[in-house]
Amino acid sequence: MEFVNEAVVSDRLAALPGDEPRVAVSGNFATPHELLRILEATLPRVRAFSLNIQEGWPRRDGFVTETPFVGPGVRGDPAMEYLPMRLSLVPRLFGTSRPPHAVLLHTSTPRDGKVSLGVEVNIMPAAIEQVVARGGLVVAQVNPRMPFTGGDALVDVDHVDLALEVDAPLPSPRPWSPDALCAAVGERVAGYAVDGGTVQLGIGQIPDAAAGALTTRRGLGVWSEMVSDGLLGLDRSGALDPHRPISVSFLFGSPELYEWADDNPRLVMRRTEVINDPARIAAQPSMLSVNTALQVDLFDQANASYVRSRIYSGFGGQPDFVTGALHSAGGHAVVALRSWHEGSDTSTIVPRLVEPATSFQHSVIVTEHGAAEVFGRSSGDQARLLIGCAADPRARDALMDAVGPFGR
């Protein structure tokens, strides 16, 4: 690892091969914005590969974004290319159809010959390995404020070619407080957790509310693609088993969460191929997977990706965790959502999806009105349970009218 200035980084990026080199970039709230600024200013044409991109991402002709999970920073960008893939399979792209020429990382300062990827591991280890194997360029934005986390977050300094030192606070998502409706959904979701079980909590107010309702449980383990501030409450309440590692792939939370993560020996950061592997998820005891959706239809298909036929997010880890939880002994794959979308004044339980499905065949669908335990039911019973237990009362008559022969 050689510490350099911006000019050196720019010169090395300008020397990347091809007319449109591909560069893998740390995503979520670990985006190395200074390196990204240099990349955007240096290369007239480039393909940038990243996950859940936040605000501040370049948008211009020639700057093509490739992503399997669309974040707010590129939502609606005509130069964005969405790759519909289960997250567990995304790292394979780096060794096959989408090999990167360079990697831009956001890391801690070096310690004992290593830097840490800190709050964002995800697909980056696979990208680093492929670039190093092909003699490409690895550049780190080294930040003393990045938490030093272990596991797959650790990168040998010999694998990093250039380092640009940038002392800057890490960004965080806007804080939110679950409302009474979310709290009611969270309470119902928590009822499917058992002492000694394992939890996965996705992004959003409802998963956070579920975490808040799990504080009375004991001996819980965490095996989750991401964690947010709800984890702090579980830890402080004594709900977590102190002898089980907290296994996650990225952190999505406040400065307080980042401070908790720094040098925390119980936190083990794992790469996507491990944390999202359905077989490893299934091996967790009583795995409770909690995800949300935009719509669920009477065939128990969930859309968590598309709005009005335009990509909003993507598969992410939802299908991986739904599959894994269903195969876990005592596990549950829960989809939790509000029964009514106030913005469009429509039911989120619909007769049949018109958008592509993100996941299907869940254990239970939970709303503020109740829990439809659909696993193992006939198609007719499944539809009736969704209508009677999960749908908003305003939508129930129309949904019953829409039930076809399968529901009778």
Tens of pLDDT, residues 321-375: 999 999 999 999 999 999 999 989 999 999 999 999 999 999 999 999 999 999 9
CA 346, distance to chain mean position in Å, is 27
Q: What is the DSSP letter of 169?
A: P
What's the sign of the alpha-carbon dihedral 373, 377, 383, 384?
negative
Measure the CA–CA gap between 224 and 279, rounded to whole angstroms.
14
Domain count, the chain: 2
CA angle 158-160-163, nearest 5°? 125
Q: What is the pLDDT of residue 407?
A: 61
Residue 225 located in a structural domain: yes
- Clarify whether residues 149 and 190 are in a common domain: no
Measure the CA–CA gap between 147 and 145, rounded to whole angstroms.
6
CATH number, position 363: 3.40.1080.20
pLDDT in tens, 330-341: 999 999 999 999
Residue 309 located in a structural domain: yes
Measure the CA–CA gap between 329 and 325, rounded to whole angstroms.
8
Measure the CA–CA gap between 368 and 185, rounded to whole angstroms.
5
290 phi and psi, to 5 degrees?
A: -120, 115
Q: Which residues pair with 114 in a beta bridge?
A: 111, 156
Measure the CA–CA gap between 273 and 126, rounded to whole angstroms.
9
Q: Which residues of the chain have pLDDT under 50?
A: none
Residue 170 located in a structural domain: no
225 included as an active-site residue? yes
CB atoms inside a 10 Å sphere around CB 18: 10
- Clarify whether residues 394 and 284 are in a common domain: yes
Residue 238 located in a structural domain: yes
**For residue 18, what are the contacts with CB-CB under 8 A and spacing of at least 6?**
101
Q: How far apart are the first and last CA of the chain?
A: 67
Long-range Cβ contact pairs of 186-191 (< 8 A, separation 24 or more): 186/210, 186/211, 186/212, 186/213, 186/336, 187/213, 188/336, 188/366, 188/370, 188/371, 189/213, 189/290, 189/334, 189/336, 189/366, 190/214, 190/217, 191/371
- Clarify whether residues 265 and 320 are in a common domain: yes
Residue 106 located in a structural domain: yes
Q: What is the pLDDT of residue 201?
A: 84
Helix (H) or strand (E) holding 317: none
- Clarify whether residues 275 and 324 are in a common domain: yes
- Clarify whether residues 134 and 15 are in a common domain: yes
Amino acid letter for position 220: L
**For residue 160, what are the contacts with CB-CB under 8 A and spacing of at least 6?**
1, 105, 107, 115, 138, 139, 140
Count Cβ neighbours within 10 Å for each residue of 355-393 and write b for 16 or more, e otherwise: bebbbbbbbbbbbbbbbbbbeeeebeebbbbbbebbbbe
Measure the CA–CA gap between 258 and 146, rounded to whole angstroms.
8
> What are the structure tokens assigned to 46, written together?
């480039």
- Clarify whether residues 352 and 298 are in a common domain: yes
- 252 lies in which domain range? 180-407
Count Cβ neighbours within 10 Å for each residue of 325-339 and write b for 16 or more, e otherwise: bbebeebbbbbbbbb
Measure the CA–CA gap between 258 and 405, rounded to whole angstroms.
53
- Clarify whether residues 96 and 185 are in a common domain: no
Pairing of strands 137-142, 80-82: unpaired
Which listed residue (225, 273, 355, 368) is catalytic?
A: 225
Q: What is the pLDDT of residue 406?
A: 62
Residue 136 located in a structural domain: yes
pTM across the whole model: 0.96
Residue 160 located in a structural domain: yes
Measure the CA–CA gap between 408 and 400, rounded to whole angstroms.
10
Residue 173 located in a structural domain: no
What's the sign of the alpha-carbon dihedral 361, 202, 320, 328?
negative
Measure the CA–CA gap between 407 and 306, rounded to whole angstroms.
26
CATH number, position 153: 3.40.1080.10
